Amino acid sequence: MGNTCDLIIAGGGVMASSIAYNLLKDGYTGRIVLFEQDPVYEYASTPRSAGGIRQIFSTELNIRMSQYGLQIFKKFAEDMAINGEPAEIDFKQRGYLFLANERILTGMQAQIALQQRLGVNVEVRTVEETLALIPELNVSDLVGSVFSPEDGYLDPYSVMQGYIKQAKHLGAEYIHEQVAAFLRDVTGTIAGVRLATGETWHAKVVVNACGAWSGDLSKTMGVDLPVVPLRRQIFHFDLAKPLKNPLPLTVDVSGVYFRHEGPKIIAGLSNTVPYEYNFQWEKPFFENEIWPVLAKRCPNFETLKLERGWAGLYDFNLVDQNGIIGGYSDIPGYYVATGFSGHGLQHAPAAGKALSELIRLGHYETLDVRALSPERFKTGQYILEEGIV
């Protein structure tokens, strides 16, 4: 017979834990069990993320999801406190800064107008105004920048732990085992999971929140979910000559991004690599692709000292690089929250809230995320987002 509960979540990262937390906070009374294969989250994407929180997206839905997340993160420490212990996430609202040449600025005009219409505090800054933010910049090729001062960056591991602790506090159970397969009954309805141990667990509702692993896990019941692991690297370095001001999360015209991490700096760049579970970071990639850009952009970076790096996986949506949230009409009880392609941390609060509503009520109330349903891969109604970094 195996074990039974009401709702199973495969995965125990920020997405899974936000879903469990939101369900329980919103009044769900069933027994929720989360299965997490990695008890110390060594390879989970969340702790390996850059922690960037931005409202600078080109589609209304992504902007609204970011706005929702921003409000949550601003009050996270107090709202997620347990027994008076604040859930600190080190949120630095130092802004997001896209450095712009003529082509980039022209290309961003429509999205800036949309962001402003939706109430985002974002504006074009002149070269002089950009220099006021980062005085050391080489601006010879820039016409200005796009700046959203309320955005910024935070500690992703602490956000994940905040959700895990609250979910547990409200009654969710975490079991450190690997899900080997999803199970369906003869009618096609979701029935539960089989673990790598061979043990089975049965529930009427099963959520796949396995991030970069979610596509492969979906295959175990013959469902094509277009999510693959895509390696992204981050490099951590020190400067002999510190910068005058704390950095916004700054995105160079080349795509190289950088921000402060304490007194030091981290930087990254999205590149073309095979889809694989690869956690190697490569110093030559930094030396050949990132350092030259940084050194040209700012003299303080010329003599930087690379201290370490790491690699993590995007839950990369091969079709339209946006979150996939919702259920399938032909698999009652089965839901997914994955595919965020580099913006899943900041959208975890909204995704968790949305799935809580869909599972409990059968519809969305706070944010209508129907456009992110996995059914869009059948209809071809994709979400075209320009702001994928």
Ligand X SMILES: Cc1cc2nc3c(=O)[nH]c(=O)nc-3n(C[C@H](O)[C@H](O)[C@H](O)COP(=O)(O)OP(=O)(O)OC[C@H]3O[C@@H](n4cnc5c(N)ncnc54)[C@H](O)[C@@H]3O)c2cc1C
- The secondary element (H helix, E strand) that includes residue 217 is helix 214-219
We find the least distance from the C-beta atom of residue 149 to ligand X, in angstroms, to be 17
Q: Alpha-carbon distance 211 to 134, whole Å? A: 35
**Are 159 and 347 contacting, i.e. CB atoms less than 8 angstroms apart?**
no
**Are 31 and 7 contacting, i.e. CB atoms less than 8 angstroms apart?**
yes
Q: Alpha-carbon distance 180 to 196, whole Å? A: 5
We find the least distance from the C-beta atom of residue 177 to ligand X, in angstroms, to be 7
C-beta closer to ligand X: residue 72 or 144: 72
C-beta closer to ligand X: residue 97 or 144: 97
We find the least distance from the C-beta atom of residue 12 to ligand X, in angstroms, to be 6
We find the least distance from the C-beta atom of residue 381 to ligand X, in angstroms, to be 22
We find the least distance from the C-beta atom of residue 194 to ligand X, in angstroms, to be 11
C-beta closer to ligand X: residue 162 or 312: 312
C-beta closer to ligand X: residue 45 or 161: 45
Q: Alpha-carbon distance 211 to 338, whole Å? A: 5
Task: Give 103's contacts (C-beta < 8 A, 6+ positions apart).
Answer: none
C-beta closer to ligand X: residue 141 or 276: 276
C-beta closer to ligand X: residue 101 or 271: 271
Task: Give 368's contacts (C-beta < 8 A, 6+ positions apart).
Answer: none
Q: Alpha-carbon distance 118 to 305, whole Å? A: 41
Residue 341: Cβ within 10 Å count: 22
Residue 57: Cβ within 10 Å count: 26
We find the least distance from the C-beta atom of residue 270 to ligand X, in angstroms, to be 9
Structure tokens at 293: 């850009």
Query: What residue type is assigned to position 353 of the chain?
Result: K
We find the least distance from the C-beta atom of residue 37 to ligand X, in angstroms, to be 4
We find the least distance from the C-beta atom of residue 150 to ligand X, in angstroms, to be 15
Q: Alpha-carbon distance 345 to 89, whole Å? A: 13
Length of the chain equals 389
C-beta closer to ligand X: residue 49 or 111: 49
From the CA atom positions of the chain, what is the Rg in Å? 21
Residues that bind ligand X (CB under 6 A): 10-16, 35-38, 41, 44-46, 48-52, 178-179, 209-213, 217, 232, 234, 312-315, 338, 340, 342-346
Q: Alpha-carbon distance 71 to 74, whole Å? A: 5
Q: Are strands 96-100 and 144-148 parallel, antiparallel or unpaired?
A: antiparallel
Structure tokens at 195: 């673990």
Residue 204: Cβ within 10 Å count: 16
Structure tokens at 3: 């074990």
Q: Are strands 32-35 and 205-208 parallel, antiparallel or unpaired?
A: unpaired
We find the least distance from the C-beta atom of residue 214 to ligand X, in angstroms, to be 7
Q: Which residue has the tokens 């397969």?
A: 181
**Are 92 and 134 contacting, i.e. CB atoms less than 8 angstroms apart?**
no
Q: Which of 306, 297, 286 is nearest to 240 (CA)?
A: 306
C-beta closer to ligand X: residue 4 or 278: 278
We find the least distance from the C-beta atom of residue 261 to ligand X, in angstroms, to be 12
C-beta closer to ligand X: residue 14 or 112: 14
C-beta closer to ligand X: residue 15 or 146: 15
